[in-house]
Amino acid sequence: MNISLVTSQDTDLATRAASPLAVRGMTVSYGQTPAIFSVDMTVRAGAMTAIVGPNGAGKSTLLKAALGVIAPLAGSVTVFGEPMADMRDRIAYVPQRASVDWDFPVRVIDVVMMGMYRKLGLLGRIRGQHKALAQECLGRVGMADFAHRQIGQLSGGQQQRVFLARALAQEADIYVLDEPFAGVDAATEKAIIAVLQGLRDAGKTVLAVHHDLATVPDYFDDVLLLNTQVVAAGPVAEAFTEDNLQAAYGGRLTTARADPESVAG
């Protein structure tokens, strides 16, 4: 009995070391009720994983806690087996579009350049190679012609693509996206999913909060069903079942299917 316990711990350690992003026992609370409770998540390398769950399930909270944007009550995060703090350069982040003031005085190309601030440091000069990379990232999301526009002049979908270009400019191994398809047009959704699939095919790891149940099987390889706690996790074929969805959404399942935006957030 004792021995098997040790063995299972060992395999857990091994999977964590191999995982680009592993979360253990994560609990976050705003006030007295936990937004997420004791969440374990082991993201598979080279796969696209969706975090899915009803409104208020803690999807965005899980992402933010995993990235250290909000402080958890309990829990640890490892990136390829190392502590998160040492591995930040390996992770690119696309926040929710609504989290930003779009009247801010900044041009599209400057936003993309922000993805290189870690590499540039405080005083590193922006050189031709950096500008070329920024322009190339804009090209990959179909926004090359918009480099010198003020970001407020773009449509919602275009803004989302600029955020994705900024993440690409980080040249990371893991791409974490918070509701990348919320409130964007169909053309943008297609463009974004193509870029993400391209990243996966190049061996990168993608983790996204997603709200449209209908497209989960088409877009993603793995899924984590969340409702404060983890309801199910694994490859879409195994975890994305009717029973698990029922357990995660309860009575809201029909609504979630009919109007995905209603459970966004």
Partner 1 sequence: MLADALLLQLGYNATLVTIGAALLGIASGVAGTFLFLRKRALVSDAISHATLPGVGLAFVVMVAMGGEGRSLFGLLLGAGLSAAFGLLCVQWLTDRTRLGEDAAIGAVLSVFFGFGIVILTVIQTMNAGRQAGLEGFLLGSTAGMLRSDAILLAVSAALVLALVVILRRPLGLAAFDPGYAEATGWSLPRIDLAMMGIVLVVTVVGLKVVGLILIVALLIVPPVTARSWTERSDHVVIIAGVVGGVSGYVGAASSATAPALPTGPIVVLVGFAIFLFSLLFSPRRGVLASLLTHLRYQRRVHVRQGLLALAQGQPIYEVLTRRLLERAGLVLPDGVPTPAGQAAASKALLDETRWAIVRGDQAYALAATRYDGLTPIEDVLTPDQLTEVDGKIDAPQVVA
Q: Closest CB to partner 1 among 52 and 184?
A: 184
List the end-to-end C-alpha distance of the chain, in Å, as a whole number.
Answer: 43
Judged by CB under 8 A, does residue 104 bind partner 1? yes
Q: How would you write 73-117 as a 3-class SS string?
A: CEEEEEECCEEHHHCHHHEEEECCHHHCCCCCCCEHHHHHHHCCH
- The single residue among 52, 67, 199, 206 that binds partner 1, judged by CB under 8 A, is 67
118 part of the interface to partner 1, by CB under 8 A: yes
Residue 69 in the binding site for partner 1 (CB under 8 A): yes
Sequence-distant (≥ 6) Cβ neighbours of residue 146 within 8 angstroms:
108, 138, 154, 158, 162
Restricted to residues 156-185, the positions that interact with partner 1 (CB under 8 A) are: 157, 166, 170, 176, 185
Distances (CA, A) of 208 to 53, 154, 182: 12, 23, 12
Residue with tokens 């275009």: 158
Q: Which CB, 38 or 150, lies closer to partner 1?
A: 150
Report CA dihedral (163, 166, 171, 173) to the nearest 10 degrees.
-20
β partners of residue 92: 175
**Residue span binding partner 1 (CB under 8 A) among the ranges 19-27, 33-41, 100-108, 201-209:** 100-108
Radius of gyration of the chain (CA): 19
110 touches partner 1 (CB under 8 A)? yes
* Between 101 and 242, CB nearer to partner 1: 101
Within 13 Å, how many C-alpha atoms sit on residue 264's CB side?
A: 18
Nearer to partner 1, 63 or 232 (CB): 63
CA 197 to mean position of chain CA atoms: 14
**30 touching partner 1, by CB under 8 A:** no
Give whichever of 44 and 90 is closer to partner 1, judged by the CB atom.
90
Is 186 one of the binding residues for partner 1 (CB under 8 A)? Answer: yes
Is residue 18 close enough to count as binding partner 1 by CB under 8 A? Answer: no
CA distance 121 to 78: 24
| Interface stretch with partner 1, choices 117-125, 195-203, 212-220, 238-246 (CB under 8 A) | 117-125
User: Which two tokens mark 227?
Assistant: 């409702």
Of 127-135, 150-158, 199-207, 228-236: span binding partner 1 (CB under 8 A): 150-158
Residues that bind partner 1 (CB under 8 A): 64, 67-69, 85, 88-89, 91, 93, 95, 99-101, 104-107, 110-111, 114, 117-118, 120, 122-123, 142, 150, 155, 157, 166, 170, 176, 185-187, 190
